[in-house]
Amino acid sequence: MPVYFEYALKVSISLAVVFLFYTLLLKRMTYYKWNRYFLLMFSLVSFIVPFINVNVFVQAQEKSPVSFVNEFPSIYSVEVIAETNNPGMIVYWQILSAVFLLVSFALVIRLLIQFFSIQKIKSKSTLLSVGEENIFHFPQQIVPFSFLNDIFINTNNYNDKELLDILNHERVHVQEKHSVDMLVSELVCILNWYNPFAWMLKKAVRENLEFIADDRVVSKGIDKKGYQYLMLKVTGNFPSPIASSFKLSSLKARMIMMNRSKTSQLHLLKFVLLVPMIVILLLAFRNSKEAGSEVKRKSETTETYTLYTLTYSIPDEKVKAIVVKEKGKSLLKPGELLNLTLIHNEKDRLKSLLEKNGYRNIRSNAIRFMIDSASVNNSFSIEVKIDLEQGVAAIGRKRFIPLNKAVIEANLRGLSWLHAGQVKHKSDGQFENGSCSSAFSLDT
């Protein structure tokens, strides 16, 4: 799976958690401003959380009954089968990326059209008042709305008291910069158009902004029932979803919240639950593969191993001349560090060298490494056997016992049970029982 789609999956999960947290714990509270900051802030945080690698802050440790972090499931625990070498999968991801970009681009165009439609209305309106907010009279049948610092209303449809209540409502939107919340929710939907929770969050943001405006107007002591009747009376076309409208959100929900008693301050403790929510997301998004490799790297660096001697057994004189000529470029150097990665890389280097000199179709067992398992002061001797004609048959004269590659790796880590006389029967690799010392062959 391409990196961007992994990131998009994490963002989608974060937005879903934010919406569920709001719906289950916060929506029924009358602390509308707190809810506003939560919805706005955590909608944006959802795009940042996937970048945070908790492995940097959490010390990687071996599993134990109290190892909470290692036991917590990571989304990386689920393997996604999408081989990049598969042409079909590459085409699939390319098509999916193109669809994603096309839809996002279409939504950007839609947002620009909405913005210009408001500007068009503004050009056809009459400016009535200039100040903290600009009030415009629009002669056609529209629902009163506001965008940025502008309020639009058809003054012919309402009496003076109704105009005052509507303007007080829209002034709250302008003064508290609610257009910022609307634009942020639009951008979240553009980037996460495929995620239903993004659209539900947008609706929740819009609805909560209306709760804030209604609460401010009602708190001034106006007749609550008359204000609710005014909400039912308002009719007309609504020009743009990015604007805040007097009659945009669910009237039933707004009336219910207006009639609801003030929520106890004890309910603010619900926001404390944001801490475990973020921790759970960070743990779920951690790169468990990276954590595992970090543990492996640490275990491999607890002790150091060196190469004592390096010899070659090559029956073909031409092949031997090629290898000996480039011996100075060998990654395995006596007296220097030794590990399995270097051995694998050295085999790749030898194979590439021979291919450059005209040898093709080199079998995997044609290049083998005989490693002396009798470690002295953490030093090992290696004999490189190369037989392009017979492969494994070239060393078939001696008796071998199957040995697992994990055992070979364990030997390089200095585990005592691997030494002569203590090797157990495994599979894949091979053990050479010589008369002088014990050694095993590594078919990398």
Q: Closest Cα partner for 322 from 358, 359, 357, 352?
A: 357
Q: How confident is the model at residue 394 (pLDDT cuts 50, 70, 90)?
A: very low
Q: Facing residues of 370 across strands?
A: 383, 441
Answer yes or no: is pLDDT of 201 > 90: yes
Domain boundaries, the chain: 3-47+82-263, 303-442
Question: Which is more confidently placed, 240 or 298?
Answer: 240
pLDDT at 374: 60
pLDDT at 289: 54
Distance CA 93, CA 88 (A): 9
Q: How confident is the model at residue 92 (pLDDT cuts 50, 70, 90)?
A: confident
* pLDDT > 70: percent of the chain: 72
pLDDT at 390: 56
Answer yes or no: is pLDDT of 239 > 80: no
Q: Which two tokens stand for residue 202?
A: 């947008």
Mean pLDDT of 199-215: 91
Amino acid at 99: V
pLDDT at 46: 87
Question: Position of tokens 């799976």?
Answer: 1
The half-sphere exposure of 411 on its side-chain side, counting CA atoms within 13 A, is: 30
pLDDT at 69: 46
Question: Which is more confidently placed, 141 or 303?
Answer: 141
Answer yes or no: is pLDDT of 432 > 80: no
Q: How confident is the model at residue 112 (pLDDT cuts 50, 70, 90)?
A: very high
Answer yes or no: is pLDDT of 423 > 50: no
Answer yes or no: is pLDDT of 439 > 80: no
Mean pLDDT of 397-421: 41
Answer yes or no: are the C-beta atoms of 354 and 347 closer than 8 Å: no
Answer yes or no: are the C-beta atoms of 248 and 288 closer than 8 Å: no
Mean pLDDT of 48-66: 61
Mean pLDDT of 185-213: 92
pLDDT at 86: 58
Mean pLDDT of the chain: 75
Q: Which two tokens stand for residue 424?
A: 């157990």
pLDDT at 385: 84
Amino acid at 155: T
Q: How far is CA 392 from CA 97, 348, 396, in A?
A: 47, 17, 6
Helix (H, G, I), strand (E, B) or coil at 24: helix
Q: How confident is the model at residue 406 (pLDDT cuts 50, 70, 90)?
A: very low
pLDDT at 309: 84
Mean pLDDT of 151-177: 88
Mean pLDDT of 403-431: 41
Give kind and range of the element (H or E) at residue 408.
Answer: helix 405-412
Per mean pLDDT, which range of 29-38, 182-191, 356-365 is the poorest?
356-365
Distance CA 50, CA 285 (A): 6
Question: Position of tokens 């004269």?
Answer: 397
Distance CA 320, CA 322 (A): 5
- 340-356 and 317-325 helices, crossing angle to 10°: 120
Answer yes or no: is pLDDT of 108 > 90: yes
Q: What is the CA radius of gyration of the chain?
A: 35
The DSSP annotation for 212-234 comes to HHHHHHHTTT--HHHHHHHHHH-
Answer yes or no: are the C-beta atoms of 320 and 350 closer than 8 Å: no
pLDDT at 384: 84
Dihedral sign, CA of 23, 28, 29, 34?
positive
Per mean pLDDT, which range of 165-179, 229-243, 399-413, 420-434 is the poorest?
420-434
* pLDDT > 90: percent of the chain: 14
Over residues 338-357, the pLDDT tens digits come to 778 888 888 888 888 888 88
Q: How confident is the model at residue 2 (pLDDT cuts 50, 70, 90)?
A: low
Answer yes or no: is pLDDT of 434 > 90: no
Mean pLDDT of 277-287: 78
Over residues 290-329, the pLDDT tens digits come to 554 554 555 444 456 788 888 888 888 888 888 888 888 8
Q: Closest Cα partner for 150 from 118, 182, 124?
A: 118
Question: Position of tokens 């943001």?
Answer: 205
